Structure 1
Amino acid sequence: MKVQAALHKEFKIARIDDRLYSAFIEHMGRAIYSGIYEPGHPQADAHGFRKDVAALVRDLNIPAIRYPGGNFVSAYNWEDGIGPIEDRPVRLDLAWRSKETNHVGTNEFAVWAKDVGIDMMLAVNLGSRGLSDARNFMEYVNHPGGTYWSDLRRSHGVEDPYDVKMWCLGNEMDGPWQIGHKEAKEYGRLADETAKALRGLTPDAEMIVCGSSNDEMATYPDWERGVLEECYENVDYISLHKYFGNSSGDTLNFFGKIEETGRYIQAIGGVIDFVKAKKRAKNDIYICFDEWNVWYHNREEDSKNWKSWDWPEAPALLEEDYNFEDALFIGGLLNEFIRRSDRVKIACIAQLVNVIAPIRAEKGGPAWRQTIYYPYQFASLYGRGDALNVSVNGPTYDCSVADDVQYLDVAAVHNTDEQAVTLFILNRHLTDTVDLDMDLAGFVNAKVAMHKVMAGHDLRLTNGPDNPDRVSPKDGSGVGVEDGKLRGNLPPLSYHVVRLDVS
């Protein structure tokens, strides 16, 4: 199967915001407890955080992390997670029908985030609570001192403020399942007033308002219009969420959901433009895709469990075993985020450890990389710079979620500081090798500096504690630059990272 492609160094889409490769972690299942935090574990540090998990997190080079939820935040009292641990209350978490010990709260999480080199993105409860509690939370976190909440933080041993800049105004407020669910206008008004109050404390804070929980919601995309008409001038981003699955076993349709996601982003971009024009506003709003991942393997069984169990502490929940097919999909989805980087500035894989996560950790045992860890890591490490337009001319297919889907999916990033172009390439074809011929216009001295490939595995193959590297990248071969073109053969169902030295 022959595919011709072309890119040019001057045909730029946008400068990629590093935060496109951010993450999310929630007080849910074993994400926190026996995920990142497990006092008594052989790998626990002085604060109780697992050093083996932290090492895997550091290798991802994550810019920012959304915390503490998620559905959890919509009934969360942030004050429960501060002060002496022995004095903290145990609460019932209504979102996931479990007990929350509050042994990890804002200050503990901040210690962990600093240790692994990640900026915090904090969410406030606009479900069961509101503006006043959000204001108090920001004062505790960001104000230097001399006030009740800032001095309380200092009394808890944290002298300097955290100066958190990213603030999520609630979570999935369009969802009827959400504690404190609201109608669009009602939520938009609350978000607007909360944003104004928080900006009074931290003028350069960035405000993220809730968009649709997914593009199948009955209120989508009118929800975004209704919310933004109330708060457009006082927020910076609108959030989108979407989870993916292949319950039917149709691999090509599964991969077609990458294009479906592009339409989702495009539609909300249009809503943003509409509201901006209607309000004659001067500011721009971008998209924060702050929950995304594959989630379907255990979803039905997990739903039965958490709706019936008797309030356990940190139960095993949403612990997806990701396979090779999922890794290929994640590589393509990250390509779509790169191509849409003019609209999507922040994106958070959901979640980071144990719960629908690239990293798994056994209680008292080892931690390992799941298959999806690798494309996420490659994008984070090498997908920073200017996103370039790539023209692809090759065979396509139709499926139930999209038509004219290119078998070859390519995204390109030019890092001018490192004088490198990185190509992220997915061959979605089930049986055919791609004979690639890509014109590298404007990069006259390009040469291949690195080629990594994930290929040749059964689609259902997974990693696990006994075989943690079964599905992992290998050095690629057979791809090179000649006569200003990148040429080579890409096997079916394969994901490639080709890094070009363009100095």
Structure 2
Amino acid sequence: MHTARVVIDPAFRIGEADRRLFGSFVEHMGRCVYGGIFEPGHPTADPLGLRQDVLELTRELGVSVVRYPGGNFVSGYRWEDGTGPVGDRPRRLDLAWKTIETNAFGLDEFMVWARAAGVEPMLAVNLGTRGVQEALDLLEYANHPGGTSLSDRRRKHGAEQPYDVKLWCLGNELDGPWQVGHKTADEYGRLAAETARAMKLIDPSVSLIACGSSNRGMATFAAWEATVLEHTYEHVDYISAHTYYDPSDGDRASILASAVDMDAFIDEVVATADHVGAKLRNRKRLKISFDEWNVWYQSRLQHDLDRRGWVEAPALIEDGYTAADAVVVGDLLITLLRHADRVGVACQAQLVNVIAPIRTDTGGRAWRQSIFHPFALTARHARGTVLRTEPVTPSHDTKRYGPVPSLSTVAVHDDETGALSVFAVNRGETPLSVEFDLRAFPGLTTTEHLTLDGPPRRLDTAGRITVELAGASWNLIRSS
């Protein structure tokens, strides 16, 4: 058995564990909406068609913010189509996922769902096929109290009070050639800046997110961020980041070390943003909205798209997740917490059915996938101040990332209750004996060790505790 050591001290502060780090994503893609959160006629559905079993699991998952309606879908979406009497709504071709969009579910239904789920809404505007005016119309409809054509239309549709949405994405992945309305960095940057300026004239309280690169592997990565931010830096609050990790090639050692890549991605986006800020003599420090991330067996997507024609809400990338996938998800959450000073929003994509922690049968049950559990436990216990940990740990080799640390950790200290939560992943296959030095927390009296595959275990808390971490495992060491 290998050994490692971690010193935890309340002085090693990174920042607060923002609740927005535990976001999710609902896109009009596959069965995420239709047959996922919305299914009129389902045994648990309310009069609006919202599945109560999915709502219950969403609350259990601990989701804080939900991004809507896309994703690639938003780059061809007309938001007005999803408002007003359902019988009058048009059916449209969705070019992003090659489906027919019925528009039976739209903005007003989503806002009712968000309130029921207890989540903050995060809306995206279409800067692919549309522009400044359409974004302003949507903001006026959503946030203006009344007395104008669009705000009174919302009231006529049943929402007397404004939705007061604070988080807005200025488009989605417009660096990607696959995106409807794909643009160069200069084209997008100028449009995003114009849209941001105008939106803040309507509602200065909104927080705006500029599109960063679709992933770190894009040929234009970093150059895209630099150019976009030179246009938008003074007008936006976040730059987005997206990443998915695909286990399809069977390289288990590399997929278990995926958080190494996410960590580097965050550092590089931060460095690029800070460079632009320095260049512009702007003292504001932008944060990252990591609003798409997950494990995704992405190589299966094209087969799913090619095997059928234009249909409504087909099953699409409904991946089944393994225990190893859950370990990766837990480690990605550790990485997001380790950057709590610069990552202010994060959304696991997606919530239901589509590469999701929650799955459903049409007309039937809803259930939790393996990746549900590390997310739910982290969201529940990562409350308070995030503390930097620098494990003394062995390393092991991976094909994709070279030598990587076997142990990944972060700690969160709840200043109100005094509780300390240490999240730890053993990325290697060899069991790891870890000594946690907790002497800087003399008031701790009890400790339990939680894993994904067994009941909690009680531990001695006399200053130093030793915990055995199984190979390829996610762990929570909870002290109070």
What is the match of residue 487 of structure 1? 466
Matches within 5 A, 1:159-174: 159-174=160-175
Distance 2:322 2:54 in 1: 20
**Number of the residue aligned with 2:374:** 375
For 2:438, give the aligned amino acid.
L
**Deviation at 1:318?**
1.1
Match in the other structure for 1:435: 433
Contact 2:449–2:458 (CA<8 Å) still a contact in 1? no
Listed one character per residue, the Cα deviations across residues 293-326 of structure 1 (whole Å, up to 9, x for unaligned) are 0111xx3343133145221100000100011110
With the length of structure 1 as denominator, give the TM-score of the two structures.
Answer: 0.93
Q: Deviations over 1:203-250 (max 9, x none)?
A: 110000000000000100110001000110000000000000122322
Deviation readout 1:407-457 (Å, 9 max, x if unpaired): 121111111122111011112221x322221111420122335432124xx
Partner of 1:38: 39
Question: Contact 1:480–1:488 at 8 Å: present in 2 too?
Answer: no
Which deviates further from its counterpart, 392-401 or 106-115?
392-401
- 2:256–2:324 CA contact under 8 A, matched in 1: no
Q: Is residue 2:232 matched to residue 1:231?
A: yes
State the shift of 1:96 in Å: 0.4
SS of residue matched to 1:240: strand
Residue in 1 that maps onto 2:338: 339
Q: Aligned pairs, how many?
A: 479
Contact 2:448 2:458 in 1 (8 A): no
Report the Cα distance in structure 2 between the residues aligned to 1:302 and 1:241, rounded to whole angstroms. 17
1:444 aligns to what SS in structure 2? coil
Q: 1:152 is matched with which residue?
A: 153
In structure 2, what residue type is equivalent to 1:266? D
Contact 1:97 1:307 in 2 (8 A): no
Q: Deviations over 1:248-292 (max 9, x none)?
A: 322221122211110110001000110000000122210000000
Partner of 1:216: 217
**Residue equivalent to 2:69:** 68
Deviations 1:60-119 (A, max 9, x none): 221111000000000000000000000000001000000101011100010011001001
- Aligned residue type for 1:451: H
Q: 1:448 aligns with which of 442, 446, 449?
A: 446
How many angstroms apart in 2 are the aligned matches of 1:479 and 1:332?
23
Counterpart amino acid of residue 370 in structure 1: Q
Aligned to 1:92: 93
* CA shift in 2, pair 1:394/1:282, >3 Å: closer
Say which is worse superposed, 15-24 or 79-88, in terms of deviation. Answer: 15-24
Partner secondary structure for residue 10 of structure 2: strand
- The alignment's C-alpha RMSD in Å is 1.2
What is the CA deviation profile of residues 355-400 of structure 1, one whole-angstrom value per residue up to 9, with x for unaligned ones? 0100000001100000000001111111122111112112111223
SS in structure 1 at match of 2:317: coil
- Whether the aligned pair in 2 keeps the contact of 1:481 and 1:487 (CA below 8 Å) is no
Identity %: 46
How far apart, CA to CA, are the structure 2 residues paired with 1:488 and 1:66?
A: 38
**SS where residue 401 of structure 2 aligns?**
coil
Distance 1:479 1:267 in 2: 39
Q: Which amino acid aligns with 2:99?
A: S
Residue identity in the other structure for 2:277: K
1:476 paired with 2:456, answer: yes
Distance in 2, matches of 1:308 and 1:218, equals 30
Give, in whole Å, the separation in 1 of the partners of 2:56 and 2:312.
26
- Looking at structure 2, the residues matched to 327 and 234 of structure 1 have their Cα atoms a distance apart, in angstroms, of 37
**Residue in structure 2 matched with residue 317 of structure 1 by the alignment:** 316
Write the distance in 1 (CA, Å) between the matches of 2:446 and 2:221: 44
**Whole-Å separation in 2 of the counterparts to 1:400 and 1:238:** 30
Q: Does 1:304 align with 2:303?
A: yes
1:475 partner SS: coil
Contact 2:257–2:427 (Cα < 8 Å) also in 1 = no
* Matched residue SS, 1:391: coil
Which one-letter code corresponds to 1:452 in the other structure?
L
Query: What letter corresponds to residue 433 of structure 1 in structure 2?
Result: P
Q: Distance in 2 between matches of 1:443 and 1:305?
A: 52
Q: Which residue of 2 aligns with 1:246?
A: 247
Question: Which consecutive residues of structure 2, in runs of 5 or more, have no partner in the other structure?
Answer: none
Aligned to 2:30: 29
8 Å Cα contact 2:212-2:241 kept in structure 1:
yes
- Tell me how far apart the structure 2 counterparts of residues 18 and 491 of structure 1 sit (CA, whole Å): 29
Larger displacement relative to structure 2 (52-61 or 485-494): 485-494
* 1:478/1:488 contact within 8 Å kept: no
Whole-angstrom CA distance in 1 between matches of 2:349 and 2:147:
37
Match of 1:359 in 2: 358
Separation (CA, whole Å) in 2 of partners of 1:108 and 1:286: 30
Please give the alpha-carbon distance, in whole angstroms, between the structure 2 residues aligned to 1:208 and 1:389.
Answer: 27
Q: How far 1:120 moved relative to its partner? A: 0.4
Residue from 467, 476, 480 that aligns with 1:497: 476
Aligned to 2:311, what secondary structure does the other structure show? coil
Equivalent position SS for 1:233? coil
Q: Which residue of 2 aligns with 1:141?
A: 142
Partner letter of residue 407 of structure 1? S
Distance 1:200 1:17 in 2: 27
Aligned residues of 2:447 and 2:460 also touching (Cα < 8 A): no
Aligned-partner Cα distance in 2 for 1:278–1:152:
44
- 8 Å Cα contact 1:479-1:489 kept in structure 2: no
- TM-score by length of structure 2 reads 0.98
Distance (whole Å) between structure 1 residues aligned to residue 178 and residue 472 of structure 2: 37
* Change in CA separation of 1:277 and 1:441 when aligned onto 2, cut-off 3 Å: farther
Q: SS of the residue aligned with 1:135?
A: helix
SS at 1:322 equivalent: coil
